Amino acid sequence: MSEYDINKLLERYYSGIITPKEYQELLSAMDSAQVLLPDLEVERKIFMAIHKCDISVPENLEHRLSKAIDRRNRRFHNTIKAFVASAAVATGIIFITFAGYFTPSQPDTGISDEELWRRAENVDAALRSALSGLSEGQNAGIECVEEIKITQNLNI
């Protein structure tokens, strides 16, 4: 196999797209080659070293990997959930603590509600007594004034 072909197969090998047949060809070329260019010689040593390693794929690796990925995803989701829950609790605490600032508070009058309403009723009664029927009287007064004006104009 020419060095050009070896290089091509090596590229496919490193890219992970080499077929089993091409791999066997590359292996036999590397194994049987007597003299190679220095660069290829280095590649050959690496390739043969990798080949000699007994890389055994553990059983159920795929299953274990997917389980590990699931676990990681679950942990991520749990972290998000914990963060959201903590934020909700913190918001609740802040709202309860500062609720007084957000809701209008009843003014402190310094007297009991009973006394407050007694006073309110008293003031209400006094104002009602003083002001009730005022506009009726005013209107009557205005009508009276107009009547006088008309009378004066007619010189009656």
Partner 1 sequence: MTAMRRLIVLFTIAFFIGTALTANALTRAEIIRLLAQEKSFNVTYMTKAMLDKVAASKKDYPLAVLADNAGVNSVRVFEFGDQVAVDYGKALLNTYISGDKEADLMLLQQQEGYRYVAIYGLPTQAHIYGTVLIFSEYYNYKTTLIIINGSISDDTVGKLIEAFDK
> Given the rule CB under 8 A, which residues bind partner 1?
104, 106-111, 116-117, 119-120, 122-124, 126-138, 141
Nearer to partner 1, 57 or 130 (CB): 130
Q: Shortest distance, CB of residue 82 to partner 1, whole angstroms?
A: 42
Q: Which residue's entry shows tokens 């496919």?
A: 12
Give me the phi and psi of 53, to 5 degrees please. Answer: -65, 135
Helical residues (DSSP H) of 16-155, grouped into ranges = 20-32, 38-52, 61-97, 99-102, 113-131, 134-154
Q: Which residue's entry shows tokens 């795929």?
A: 62
Q: Shortest distance, CB of residue 84 to partner 1, whole angstroms?
A: 38
The amino acid sitting at 119 is R
**Two structure tokens written together for 48:** 């043969």
Q: Which residue's entry shows tokens 């749990």?
A: 78
Nearer to partner 1, 80 or 126 (CB): 126
Q: Shortest distance, CB of residue 110 to partner 1, whole angstroms?
A: 8
Q: Shortest distance, CB of residue 134 to partner 1, whole angstroms?
A: 5
Angle between helices 3-15 and 20-32 (to 10 degrees): 130
Nearer to partner 1, 64 or 119 (CB): 119
Nearer to partner 1, 28 or 139 (CB): 139
